[in-house]
Amino acid sequence: MGHLLKVKHLTKEFRGLTAVNDVTFDVNENEILGVIGPNGAGKTTLFNLITRNLIPTKGSIVFKGEDISNIKKPNEVCNKGIARTFQVVKPFAQISVLQNVMIGGFLHYHKKEEVERHAIDILNKVGLEHKDDILASHLTLAEKKRLELARALSTKPSLLLLDEVLAGLNPAEIQDSLPIIRKIKDSGVTIIMIEHVMSAMMNLADRLIVLHHGELIAEGTPEKVTNDPFVIKAYFGGDANVAN
């Protein structure tokens, strides 16, 4: 299994504030890498740097063996095969669920019929096929989270960045979402996911990295990381075993 993504010494400074500080890590093909850390740790900033919603102060990113550090625009990163979701879901509210997903499909298909078939297939994967013709504004939060996932998948990514895709969901909705994420991985899509729901991270992630004050402070299996005393003190603020 080779490295799909290699991040080296990634740093982002905002007028003297260092939000991400010299972060280095690799992502293996077809794994789920979890990113955890307290609020303000730099997790979403890290995603913004990878997808070029923000330009790094320094550091490099190599994707599929190609140095993409000089890419400046998010759409160019998407064209390379990297897609993401956002913490705050903002679908196009006044068009249908199907039409929302079709938009990304035009990246790879040119005929409307092909794009529609592709979008329907994606909706089936995320369990929204029965909602295809309703307005996105009429979806529940859990359904909007799935639509956000579908919109990202419509661009046919090799690497999918999930930013708190489970946030705000109740326990039953979270449990219903886990098989969907696993199926995406099983289809050949590598995933990096930010999540505060530790039970989900323990269930899904092959490895975890931990950010604290913009720095990577730990990396390893979920069991190793969540039993690291330094991580427990820095992130969880106590001595409990967070895996339980």
Task: Report the pLDDT averaged over residues 150-169.
Answer: 96
Task: Express each pLDDT in 168-226 by its tens digit.
Answer: 999 999 999 999 999 999 999 999 999 999 999 999 999 999 999 999 999 999 999 98
> Hey, what are 122's tokens?
């994606």
The C-alpha atoms of residue 38 and residue 119 are separated, in whole angstroms, by 35
Would the pLDDT of 33 be above 70?
Answer: yes
Q: Is the pLDDT of residue 25 over 90?
A: yes
**Alpha-carbon span 178 to 182, nearest angstrom:** 6
Q: Is the pLDDT of residue 244 over 50?
A: no
Residue 242, pLDDT > 60, answer no
243 has a pLDDT exceeding 60: no
What pLDDT does residue 195 have? 94
DSSP line for 160-194: EEEESTTTT--HHHHHHHHHHHHHHHHTT-EEEEE
pLDDT band at 124 (very low <50, low <70, confident <90, very high): very high
Evaluate if residue 240 carries a pLDDT over 50. no
Which token pair is 112? Answer: 């409307």
Q: Which domains does the chain have, with CATH numbers?
A: 3-81+157-236 (3.40.50.300), 96-152 (no CATH)
Residue 105's pLDDT is 94
Average pLDDT over the chain, rounded to whole? Answer: 93
pLDDT at 239: 45
Q: Is the pLDDT of residue 150 over 80?
A: yes
The Cα–Cα gap between 126 and 89 comes to 16
Residue 233, pLDDT > 70, answer: yes
- pLDDT digits over 43-61, tens only? 999 999 999 999 999 999 9
Q: Is the pLDDT of residue 230 over 50?
A: yes
> How much is the pLDDT for 234?
77
CB 125 within 8 A of CB 105: no
Residues 6+ apart with CB under 8 A from 155: 78, 83, 104, 105, 107, 108
pLDDT-above-70 percentage for the chain? 96
* Amino acid 63: pLDDT: 97
